[in-house]
């Protein structure tokens, strides 16, 4: 048994040994594979550095469970057309000696990162390219970066601030540097002159001070230089003439001192040249037209003059070059008469008006019919809102567009987005959120321009027009001049701006200019520049006819000295009173214009912009407010306005009420107090106010109320009741007991005081206001029989007065004394 066991053990050992041999061979093979794979991994110290970078940036979606060089999608996300500016790419180079991998490039663009610039970048010694464009990073450039060997660095479009650190000049390996669209301030340190290898430099849209540094002459390898709206002062330094390798030069918005055209004759390969708003004067050098490589030229918003056809001979005729010469002082006679889609000469002459070229281009289409209105869905398709049809505006609105394609309207778009080839989609802002505002189809898309946008509306009948401009903030960006988000009350909300204009030559220009500063890159996070959603242009005549249903007699609410007054409803629901001048009026056209002029010059809460209400059941508080409001309006006309005015036709029909039952004085038949006609004075309005105040208390018309045949009008009855000491009988019985007795007595007494036969004894309207508000006592009239006879003026009323006077004291008393 022993032998057997030994044999079995030997057999087992043999088997185990054999397996071990095989296992060792397998392990050795696996081990060799494992060593080779390990050589392709990122060193632990660089993995640790990336972890620190992620923490400092606020980036949370890198997957550290896989190797950063493994091409995992968390480290290398495929590019997408839906997010053209998004980038999430970490690139490694694994061809180093020994098969080691090292991070050479990090692109984290448009990821809404809200941290700071990572100091740990210095722990990636092989890093050559770092792009953190379009995020929300704050702070400044870390000092640790000075020791890096970066060749490409972009921190553009973030929230970085402070002075540019001098140690940035230590990264002498840099060939491309982008710090645009931040909040850097102060002067540019001279140490940046050490960056002699720079080929691309973008420092636009910051808050620098001082002049453009002369040490730019050190950057002789520069091919692209962008200094747009960075806060610098002019003039452009003469040292720029040494940058002979430039193919693209953009300088704009220089403050202060100007100069003549800079010396750029050595830039023989220039392709894109922008010197916009740099306060450049004089003429354009002849060598500019001799640059065959030139594709884009923007010299807008300067003081350039001279003979344009001579200075740019040949260049103006080329179709493959985009030229913007708007807002200059060229001789109008030298402007070309040809119309080109890529040539913008808007207000390019010393007169400042629309240039001859623009006008002639717009006249290419003859007007087949006169127009009273036009409605445009800017950037969007044709749509109907109620009874209004909006025409489409979807075509490319690229730079320098002047050639009209329609009869009734056209666009001129100043400036273009320089960062890529122009596309129709670049000039239309798209709202991707769910819109909940009314008429949302007008605000889904909007027309966008990098600098200025002009809509020309043609073939209009001359006259007054109402223009509505519709705005809706497409994304969360505060504009520099007109803050759409603030005006609208938030994002995805609407604001409509209304304007009154006079069209005299059949053409209306609606011009929107960007008053801000900055880049002309295609906007991706928010928008900048003019942005408009819709335009409404309507003739005042057309609106009024529609509002009153063509002056339908059913809408007539009164008759004045100049003609009838009609109630109308505008398209936005506003109720208006419209006076139609009658050719049969006894008063002339000049007097009518005088009335309109007076009303236009007056601004008071109780004047005009009216709406009529009738047969209202008003409580006492409302009646009191109406009476005081009328008094304040008249006091303003008589005493407070710069133009002292007598209304001449105060009556209940001319006191209209708004939705809150606030009184509005309408239907002026005004007379200037300093040039009174027919002896009319303020006291005529005071008398009329007294009648209206009494009608408010009683709830009856003065001439239509007769308690019995003994009384001609309401005023007769009031005088009798005053003598009887029974003024409460005048109060509208519909009020019951729900009124203030003290206020009612005061209002009646004021009304009677205002209607006294002697104008000299009537109060001024400012005194009336104080009495009605209880800030002054009401004088009490005490009259004799003869005086009442003059007041009443009819036999029947006098008989009534005689009966009352039998019970009166025969003593004589002053006509007026204080209560």
Compute the mean pLDDT over every residue in the chain, rounded to the nearest whole number.
Answer: 75
Residue 580 or residue 238, greater confidence: 238
CA angle 586, 595, 764 (to 5 degrees): 105
The reported pLDDT for the residue numbered 817 is 29
Assigned domain for 262 exists: no
Return the structure tokens found at 244: 């002979």
The reported pLDDT for the residue numbered 761 is 87
Q: How many domains does the chain have?
A: 3
Mind listing the pLDDT tens digit for each residue in 519-545? 444 444 444 445 677 778 877 777 777
Same domain, 797 and 654: yes
Q: Are 664 and 565 in contact (CB under 8 A)?
A: no
User: Strand, coil or helix: what is 300?
Assistant: coil
DSSP letter at 638?
I
Same domain, 730 and 797: yes
Query: Which residues form the domain of 418?
Result: 365-544
Cβ-based burial of 617 (10 A; exposed 0-12, middle 13-18, buried ≥19) = exposed
| C-alpha–C-alpha distance, residues 715 and 732, integer Å | 15
| C-alpha–C-alpha distance, residues 652 and 630, integer Å | 10
Looking only at the bridges linking them, the beta strands covering 671-672 and 645-646 are antiparallel
Residue 64 or residue 605, greater confidence: 64
Domain final position from 523, 544, 565 = 544
pLDDT at 16 > cutoff 70: no
Assigned domain for 750 exists: yes
Q: Which residues contact 583 (CB under 8 A, 6 or more apart)?
A: none
The reported pLDDT for the residue numbered 106 is 97
Q: DSSP string of 59-107?
A: -----TTS-TTS--TTTBPPPBTTBTT-EEEEEEE--SGGG--EEEEEE
| C-alpha–C-alpha distance, residues 499 and 531, integer Å | 17
Using CA atoms, how far residue 358 sits from 22, 144, 380, in Å, is 90, 56, 25
Assigned domain for 232 exists: no
Looking only at the bridges linking them, the beta strands covering 655-657 and 388-393 are unpaired
Here the contacts of 805-809 (C-beta below 8 Å, separation 24 or greater) are 805/723, 808/723
Mind listing the pLDDT tens digit for each residue in 156-206? 999 999 999 999 999 999 999 999 999 999 999 999 999 999 999 999 999
- Among residues 298, 324, 492, 649, which one is catalytic? 649
Q: DSSP string of 578-600?
A: EEEEPTT-SS-HHHHHHHHHHHH
Same domain, 660 and 787: yes
In this structure, the dihedral spanned by the alpha carbons of residues 495, 500, 504 and 505, taken in order and rounded to 10 degrees, is 0
Same domain, 358 and 429: no
Same domain, 357 and 391: no
Q: Between the ranges 49-53, 466-470, 565-569, where is the mean pLDDT highest?
A: 49-53
Residue 367 or residue 783, greater confidence: 367
Same domain, 502 and 622: no
Same domain, 334 and 379: no
The reported pLDDT for the residue numbered 528 is 44
Q: What is the CATH number of the domain that holds 660?
A: 1.10.510.10
pLDDT at 84 > cutoff 80: yes
The reported pLDDT for the residue numbered 451 is 66
Q: What is the CATH number of the domain that holds 419?
A: 2.60.120
Pick the closest to residue 104 from 94, 91, 87, 89 (CA basis): 91
Domain final position from 529, 544, 559 = 544
Assigned domain for 194 exists: no
Q: Are 630 and 675 in contact (CB under 8 A)?
A: no
Query: According to the annotation, is 579 in a ligand binding site?
Result: yes
**435 phi, psi to nearest 5 deg:** -95, 130
Q: Which residue has the tokens 């206020």?
A: 743
Same domain, 696 and 772: yes
> For residue 129, what are the β-bridge partners?
105, 152
Cβ-based burial of 536 (10 A; exposed 0-12, middle 13-18, buried ≥19) = buried
Domain final position from 364, 383, 403 = 364
Assigned domain for 553 exists: no
Look at 320-334, 510-524, 711-725 and tell me which has the smallest mean pLDDT: 510-524
> For residue 90, what are the β-bridge partners?
106
Number of H helices, E strands in the chain: 14, 41
Same domain, 644 and 777: yes
Q: Which residues contact 572 (CB under 8 A, 6 or more apart)?
A: none
Return the structure tokens found at 734: 């519909």
User: Strand, coil or helix: what is 323?
Assistant: strand
Assigned domain for 305 exists: yes
Return the structure tokens found at 69: 């060089």
pLDDT at 297 > cutoff 50: yes
pLDDT at 3 > cutoff 50: no
Assigned domain for 398 exists: yes
Q: Between the ranges 407-411, 752-756, 800-804, where is the mean pLDDT highest?
A: 752-756
Mind listing the pLDDT tens digit for each residue in 697-711? 988 877 666 566 555
The reported pLDDT for the residue numbered 360 is 57
| C-alpha–C-alpha distance, residues 585 and 588, integer Å | 7
The reported pLDDT for the residue numbered 140 is 97
Q: Which residues contact 528 (CB under 8 A, 6 or more apart)?
A: 450, 477, 479, 480, 514, 516, 518
Question: What is the H or E stretch that residue 104 is in?
Answer: strand 102-109
pLDDT at 148 > cutoff 70: yes
Look at 310-319, 654-663, 700-709 and tell me which has the smallest mean pLDDT: 700-709
User: Sorting pLDDT into bands at 50, 70 and 90, what band is 614?
Assistant: very low
How far is the first Cα of the chain from the last one, in angstroms, to the nearest whole number?
146
Same domain, 624 and 723: yes
> For residue 709, what are the β-bridge partners?
none
pLDDT at 597 > cutoff 70: no
The reported pLDDT for the residue numbered 254 is 92
802 labelled catalytic? no
The reported pLDDT for the residue numbered 135 is 95
Q: Are 42 and 71 in contact (CB under 8 A)?
A: no
Adjacency order of strands within the sheet including 272-276: 87-93, 102-109, 129-131, 152-154, 176-178, 200-202, 224-228, 248-252, 272-276, 296-298, 322-324, 343-344
Mind listing the pLDDT tens digit for each residue in 666-705? 765 544 444 444 345 788 899 999 999 998 998 887 766 6
| C-alpha–C-alpha distance, residues 245 and 243, integer Å | 6
Residue 606 or residue 637, greater confidence: 637
Same domain, 321 and 381: no
Same domain, 384 and 438: yes
Assigned domain for 158 exists: no
| Residue 678 zone, left/alpha/beta (φ > 0; ψ -120 to 50; rest) | left
Q: Which residue has the tokens 């304007």?
A: 499
């Amino acid at each position: 048994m022993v032998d057997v066991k030994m044999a079995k053990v030997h057999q087992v050992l043999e088997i185990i040994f054999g397996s071990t041999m095989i296992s060792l061979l397998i392990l050795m093979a696996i081990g060799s594979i494992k060593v080779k794979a390990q050589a392709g991994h990122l060193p632990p110290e660089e993995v640790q550095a990336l972890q620190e970078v992620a923490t400092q940036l606020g980036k949370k979606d890198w997957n550290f469970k896989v190797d950063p060089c493994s091409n995992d999608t968390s480290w290398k996300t495929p590019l997408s057309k839906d997010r053209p500016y998004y980038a999430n790419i970490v690139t490694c180079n694994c061809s180093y000696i020994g098969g080691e991998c090292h991070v050479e490039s990090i692109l984290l663009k448009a990821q809404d990162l809200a941290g700071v610039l990572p100091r740990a970048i210095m722990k990636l010694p092989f890093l050559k390219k770092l792009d953190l464009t379009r995020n929300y990073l704050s702070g400044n450039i870390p000092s640790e970066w000075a020791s890096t060997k970066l060749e490409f660095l972009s921190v553009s479009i973030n929230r970085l601030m402070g002075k540019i650190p001098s140690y940035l000049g230590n990264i002498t390996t840099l060939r491309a540097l982008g710090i645009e669209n931040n909040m850097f301030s102060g002067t540019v340190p001279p140490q940046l002159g050490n960056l002699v290898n720079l080929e691309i430099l973008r420092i636009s849209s910051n808050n620098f001070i001082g002049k453009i540094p002369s040490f730019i002459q050190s950057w002789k390898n520069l091919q692209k230089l962008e200094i747009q709206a960075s806060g610098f002062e002019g003039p452009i330094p003469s040292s720029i003439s040494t940058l002979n390798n430039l193919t693209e030069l953009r300088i704009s918005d220089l403050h202060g001192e100007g100069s003549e055209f800079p010396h750029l004759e050595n830039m023989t390969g220039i392709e894109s040249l922008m010197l916009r708003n740099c306060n450049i004067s004089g003429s354009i050098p002849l060598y500019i037209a001799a640059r065959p490589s030139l594709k884009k030229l923007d010299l807008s918003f300067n003081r350039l003059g001279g003979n344009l056809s001579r200075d740019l001979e040949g260049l103006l005729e080329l179709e493959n070059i985009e030229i913007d010469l708007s807002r200059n002082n060229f001789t109008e006679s030298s402007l070309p008469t040809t119309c080109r889609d890529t040539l913008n000469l808007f207000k390019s002459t010393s007169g400042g008006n629309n240039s001859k070229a623009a006008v002639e281009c717009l006249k290419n289409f003859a007007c087949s019919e006169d127009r009273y209105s036009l409605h445009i869905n800017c950037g969007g398709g044709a749509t109907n809102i109620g009874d209004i049809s909006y025409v489409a505006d979807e075509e490319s609105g690229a730079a320098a567009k002047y050639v009209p394609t329609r009869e009734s309207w056209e666009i001129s778009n100043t400036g273009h987005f320089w960062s890529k080839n122009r596309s129709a989609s670049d000039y239309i802002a798209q709202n991707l959120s769910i819109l909940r505002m009314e008429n949302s189809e007008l605000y889904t898309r909007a027309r966008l321009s990098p600098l200025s946008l002009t809509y020309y509306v043609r073939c209009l009948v001359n006259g007054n027009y109402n223009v509505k401009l519709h705005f809706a903030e497409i994304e969360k960006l505060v504009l520099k001049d007109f803050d759409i988000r603030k005006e609208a009350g938030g994002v995805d909300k609407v604001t409509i701006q209304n304007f009154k204009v006079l069209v005299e030559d059949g053409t209306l220009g609606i011009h929107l200019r960007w008053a801000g500063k900055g880049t002309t890159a295609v906007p991706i996070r928010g928008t900048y520049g003019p942005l408009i959603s819709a335009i409404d242009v309507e003739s005042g005549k057309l609106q009024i006819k529609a509002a009153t249903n063509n002056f339908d007699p059913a809408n007539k609410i009164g008759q004045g000295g100049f003609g009838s007054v009609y109630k109308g409803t505008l398209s936005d629901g506003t109720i208006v009173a419209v006076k139609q001048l009658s050719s049969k009026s006894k008063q002339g056209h000049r007097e009518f214009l005088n009335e309109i002029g007076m009303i236009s010059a007056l601004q008071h809460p109780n004047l005009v912009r009216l709406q009529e209400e009738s047969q209202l059941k008003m409580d006492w508080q409302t009646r009191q407010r109406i009476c005081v409001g009328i008094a304040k309006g008249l006091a303003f006309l008589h005493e407070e306005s710069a133009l002292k005015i007598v209304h001449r036709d105060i009556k209940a029909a001319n006191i209209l009420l708004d939705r809150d039952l606030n009184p509005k004085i309408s239907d002026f038949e005004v007379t200037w107090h300093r040039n009174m006609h027919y002896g009319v004075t303020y006291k005529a309005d005071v008398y009329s106010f007294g009648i209206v105040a009494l009608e408010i208390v009683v709830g009856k018309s003065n001439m239509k109320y007769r308690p019995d045949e003994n009384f001609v009008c309401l005023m007769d009855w009031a005088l009798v009741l005053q003598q009887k000491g029974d003024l409460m009988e005048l109060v509208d019985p519909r009020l019951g007991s729900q009124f203030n007795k003290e206020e009612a007595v005061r209002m009646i007494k004021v009304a009677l005081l205002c209607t006294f036969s002697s104008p000299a004894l009537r109060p001024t309207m400012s005194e009336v206001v104080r009495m009605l508000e209880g800030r002054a006592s009401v004088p009490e009239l005490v009259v004799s029989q003869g005086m009442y006879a003059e007041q009443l003026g009819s036999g029947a009323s006098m008989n009534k007065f005689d009966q009352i006077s039998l019970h009166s004291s025969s003593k004589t008393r002053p006509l007026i004394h204080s209560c």
